[in-house]
Structure 1
């Protein structure tokens, strides 16, 4: 790969990719509206507001692949999500079409399916059940990815990311955790695969108590190496058992499913 674009490069996942993908492409183009560290060897730093379509079209020129992490990654007011997550995602796909970018990794979220109960094991055929306005924007992004593949042959792997940190931060994350190393190896697998079509899969490590299946995505050749089990004793000692009657425990989206409507 000659040039790989990472949007949202100033965020947590963007920083993980920037470090973990060094040398994967001849040039990594890093973009965000937030401040980023200066460009290092084989890097380009290009600030861009994803709601500015003309700027996004310029940003995606001479790019072979896009890791699209940009946008608001928490619950927020609809008007804010409208620009960052809805208009921004459309602009990425339309720019990719115009500039001939063949493959995108779209950072979807477990909050696109957060109103499924934890007792339900999910795969790519499971219905979208967003737990928040933020989750709704991720459902929209998956639909946009499907449309641009069917209509224009722009391939996408929509990754419903769980919780990507150095280690789980609470009991829920024993099921949703994805290690930074597994996230980086998944990014490499996505852009190495001969073809992907539009694939919806889950961004999760090989945890013992996971709720999601990636059996349908085995053709990528990606096998997570890490598991949250190594942190179980530490987490269970630090956090009281969850109340099984609470919405945050019943639903896979946790606190996102339990909270009221953001606009109220």
Structure 2
């Protein structure tokens, strides 16, 4: 387990069931986790800017509303932070949602004494890293930040902010560099970075329940045959992935073909985000 900071005696979280604040609860990953995490013993308190389908008691709040955030985190055992902009956008929008908003959340967590945050980082924090070739070892978590977008830059900042709040205030965080969490992979690149919904719930459970994590960075991927990432720090938390994208490989390669040699998808971990990233629509 990769642990940072000077503190060595951190009490474990309360035994399940636990109450967890889930920000971004109406989003794609948030919706999946609202469905899957209760089976692992969690009571979900949902927060989003928009109504959350199936959760009429969800908190409607913006990350700019510090008072609402403090009220939202009061009494929870941990926070899963998925809210924010998840694609490329103008820098000022990224700053407001993913940087200032994240700092507001950590301040609320600190003020209310919440012991742990699960921060949804991203593979795009290291997107300009050359991807491993067949026969090369998978990438460890301690590679330098090489963000591929303003979005990726905000996730690199988020990991550093999590480190600061651990060193300065004793707030524990597991930063999960999520690959692609969908019911099934849809591209050749995703065959290496896919995180099945079931494995995502298993990883989040491990990140929330492992004792003494300090600030730990892990990759969020399933047990993919074509993996690019070293999952050892995630496994050290107790994560045991069960799924593999290879079941879809023949179909996807047949439909899409392999990336063109020298293309961004061929060269970099972040793939097309390095050249032509999809834009946030709002």
Range of TM-score over shorter length:
over 0.9
1:218 shift after superposition: 2.9
For residues 71 and 277 of structure 2, the distance between their equivalents in structure 1, rounded to whole angstroms, comes to 39
- Aligned counterparts, 1:111-260, within 5 A: 111-119=124-132, 121-259=138-276
1:34 aligns with 2:50: yes
The answer to whether the 8 A contact 1:3-1:25 is kept is no
The one of 47, 56, 67 equivalent to 2:69 is 56
RMSD: 1.7
Which consecutive segments of 4 or more residues in structure 1 shift more than 3 A?
A: 23-27
TM-score (normalised: structure 2) = 0.88
For residues 98 and 167 of structure 1, the distance between their equivalents in structure 2, rounded to whole angstroms, comes to 39
The answer to whether the 8 A contact 1:38-1:45 is kept is no
1:2 shift after superposition: 3.6
Secondary structure, aligned partner of 1:22: helix
- Structure 1: any 5+ residue segments left out of the alignment? none
Give the structure 1 partner of residue 91 of structure 2: 78
50-59 or 167-176, which moves further after superposition?
A: 50-59
For residues 233 and 19 of structure 2, the distance between their equivalents in structure 1, rounded to whole angstroms, comes to 29
For residues 39 and 260 of structure 1, the distance between their equivalents in structure 2, rounded to whole angstroms, comes to 32
The structure, 1 or 2, with the larger RCO (C-alpha pairs under 8 Å, 6+ apart) is 2
1:48 shift after superposition: 1.1
Count of aligned pairs: 259
1:217-247 CA-to-partner distances (Å, cap 9, x unmatched) read 4321111100011111111111122101112
